[in-house]
Chain A
Amino acid sequence: MAAAESPSAALRRRDLCSRGIRLAGKMRADVVDLLDAYVEQQGLDASASVAAVEGVPLAAVERWDEQTGTQRLLENLAAYRAFRALLAQMLEEQREQLGEADAGLGRALAAVLLQVSAFAYHLEELLRLESRGIPGEEGDEEEEDGPPPPPRLSLFEQKLRGLGVLRELAQWAVRSVRDLRQLAKPSLATGAAPSLAESP
Chain B
Amino acid sequence: MWKNSSPRCLLALAILCLRNLMYGQEIGSPGDPQNLKCVTHNLHKMLCTWDVSSRGRHGQTDFCYTTNDLTPQVCFKTKERRVEIPIPESSITVRIKSSGTAFATREFVIHQKDISFIPVTPHILSLMPDFPTSTLNLEWSDNGSVFPYGLDALWQIQILRKEAMEVVTQVTYYSKLTHEDAILSWSWTSDMPLECTSHYVKIRCYINATQFVGPKDWSDWSPEKVIPGKDTEPGGSGVFPLDRVVPVGSDLVFCCVHEEEEHIKNMTYGSKSYTMMQLSRRSHAIRVLNASVSNTSGTNVVCRLENGLEGSVVFVGYAPDIPQNLSCETPNFLIIKCTWKPGRPSGLYGERRTKYSLFERTSGKNVSCEVNEVSRDHVCGFPVLPDQKTYDFILGVYNPIGQAQSSLLVDITQRVHPKAPEKLTVTGNNSTSIQLRWFINGSFAETRLLCQIEISSSHSERKLHNISIPGRKSSTYTAQLNALRPDTKYQLRVRCSAADHFWRWSDWSRGLEQTTSEAPPARGPDIWRERSPSGESVIVFWKPLSLSETNGKIVSHEVSCYLLERLLERKIVSEPSNSTEIKLGKSDCVISVVARNHAGSSPPSRITSVELPSDNVTTDQAVAMGNGINISWDSYPNMTCGYIVKWCHSSGSEPCSVDWQKFPSNTTNAVIKSALFKPGVRYNFSLYGCKSMGYQLLKNITGYMKELPPKTAPNFIVEETSSDSILVKWEDIPIEECRGFLKGYLLSFAKGEKDALKPRLSESGNPELKVNNITDLTKKSMKIFDLQGKTSYQLELQAYTAGGLSPPNSLYVVTKEDSVGLIIAILIPVAVVVLLGVLASIFCYRKREWIKETFYPEIPNPENSKALQFQRNICEGNKTLKTLEMNPCTPNSVEVVETQSTAPKIEDTEMMSPAAETTVPEDGSDSEMENHIVVSYCPPIIEEEISNPPTDEAGGSSQVVYIDIQSMYQPQIKPEEEPEIDLVTTAGYKPQMQLSISALKIEGHSPVEEELDKTAGYRPQANTNAWNMGTPDSPGSVESNNENASFGSPCSINSRQFLLPPKDDEDSPKPINTGWSFTHFFQNKPND
Interface residues, chain A, with chain B CB atoms under 8 Å away: 41-45, 48-49, 51, 95-102, 154-157, 159-160
Are A154 and B313 neighbours in the complex by a CB distance under 8 Å?
yes
One of A48, A98, A102 near B309 (C-beta < 8 A): A48
Are B350 and A156 neighbours in the complex by a CB distance under 8 Å?
no
> Which residues of B from 287 to 323 have beta carbons under 8 Å from A?
295-302, 308-313
Min CB gap B395→A, angstroms: 20
One of B270, B297, B311, B372 near A160 (C-beta < 8 A): B311
Whole-angstrom CA separation of A67 from B6 in the bound complex: 123
B242 within 8 A of A: yes
**Contact residues of A: prevailing secondary structure:** loop
Whole-angstrom CA separation of A146 from B296 in the bound complex: 34
Closest chain B residue, CB of each to CB of A97: B350
Closest chain A residue, CB of each to CB of B243: A155
Whole-angstrom CA separation of A122 from B297 in the bound complex: 34
Min CB gap A49→B, angstroms: 7
Are A155 and B349 neighbours in the complex by a CB distance under 8 Å?
no
Closest chain A residue, CB of each to CB of B311: A156
> Which residues of B from 405 to 420 have beta carbons under 8 Å from A?
none
Whole-angstrom CA separation of A160 from B299 in the bound complex: 14
Given contacts A44-B300, A155-B298, contact A98 B349 (CB under 8 A): yes
Whole-angstrom CA separation of A102 from B297 in the bound complex: 9
Are A98 and B308 neighbours in the complex by a CB distance under 8 Å?
no
Which residues from A are CB-within-8-Å of B644?
none
Min CB gap B370→A, angstroms: 11
Closest chain B residue, CB of each to CB of A42: B297
Whole-angstrom CA separation of A200 from B656 in the bound complex: 93
Are A155 and B351 neighbours in the complex by a CB distance under 8 Å?
no
Min CB gap B352→A, angstroms: 8
Are A101 and B312 neighbours in the complex by a CB distance under 8 Å?
no
Which residues from B are CB-within-8-Å of A49?
308-309
B756 within 8 A of A: no
Min CB gap B269→A, angstroms: 11
Are B353 and A99 neighbours in the complex by a CB distance under 8 Å?
yes
Given contacts A51-B308, A155-B313, A159-B313, contact A101 B350 (CB under 8 A): yes
5 contacts between A and B (CB under 8 A): A41-B295, A98-B296, A154-B311, A155-B298, A156-B243
Which residues from A are CB-within-8-Å of B301?
156
Q: 9 nearest interchain CB pairs?
A: A156-B311, A101-B349, A155-B313, A97-B350, A101-B296, A99-B350, A99-B349, A155-B243, A43-B300
Are A98 and B300 neighbours in the complex by a CB distance under 8 Å?
no
Closest chain B residue, CB of each to CB of A51: B308
B450 within 8 A of A: no
Whole-angstrom CA separation of A5 from B944 in the bound complex: 135
Whole-angstrom CA separation of A95 from B296 in the bound complex: 12
Are B372 and A102 neighbours in the complex by a CB distance under 8 Å?
no
B817 within 8 A of A: no
Q: A155-B312, A156-B313 are in contact. List 16 more A-B contacts (CB 8 A).
A: A42-B297, A43-B271, A44-B300, A49-B308, A98-B296, A98-B349, A100-B373, A100-B374, A101-B350, A101-B373, A154-B312, A156-B239, A156-B311, A156-B312, A159-B300, A160-B311
Whole-angstrom CA separation of A49 from B311 in the bound complex: 13
Min CB gap B376→A, angstroms: 13
Are A154 and B243 neighbours in the complex by a CB distance under 8 Å?
yes
Min CB gap A134→B, angstroms: 37
Are B311 and A101 neighbours in the complex by a CB distance under 8 Å?
no
Mark contacts of B120-153 with chain A using CB atoms, 8 A cut-off: 1 yes-contact digit, 0 otherwise.
Answer: 0000000000000000000000000000000000
Which residues from A are CB-within-8-Å of B353?
99
Closest chain A residue, CB of each to CB of B349: A101
Mark contacts of B227-257 with chain A using CB atoms, 8 A cut-off: 1 yes-contact digit, 0 otherwise.
Answer: 0000000000011001100000000000000
Which residues from B are CB-within-8-Å of A48?
309
Mark contacts of B266-280 with chain A using CB atoms, 8 A cut-off: 1 yes-contact digit, 0 otherwise.
Answer: 000011000000000
Given contacts A98-B350, A99-B350, contact A156 B296 (CB under 8 A): no
Which residues from B are CB-within-8-Å of A41?
295-297
Min CB gap B763→A, angstroms: 68
Which residues from A are CB-within-8-Å of B271?
43
Closest chain A residue, CB of each to CB of B315: A155
Min CB gap A26→B, angstroms: 27
Min CB gap B308→A, angstroms: 7
Which of the listed residues B295, B297, B302 has the most CB atoms from chain A within 10 Å of its own CB?
Answer: B297
Min CB gap B789→A, angstroms: 94
Which residues from A are CB-within-8-Å of B238?
154
Closest chain B residue, CB of each to CB of A95: B350
Are B308 and A99 neighbours in the complex by a CB distance under 8 Å?
no
Which residues from A are CB-within-8-Å of B299?
43
Whole-angstrom CA separation of A157 from B239 in the bound complex: 11
Whole-angstrom CA separation of A48 from B265 in the bound complex: 14
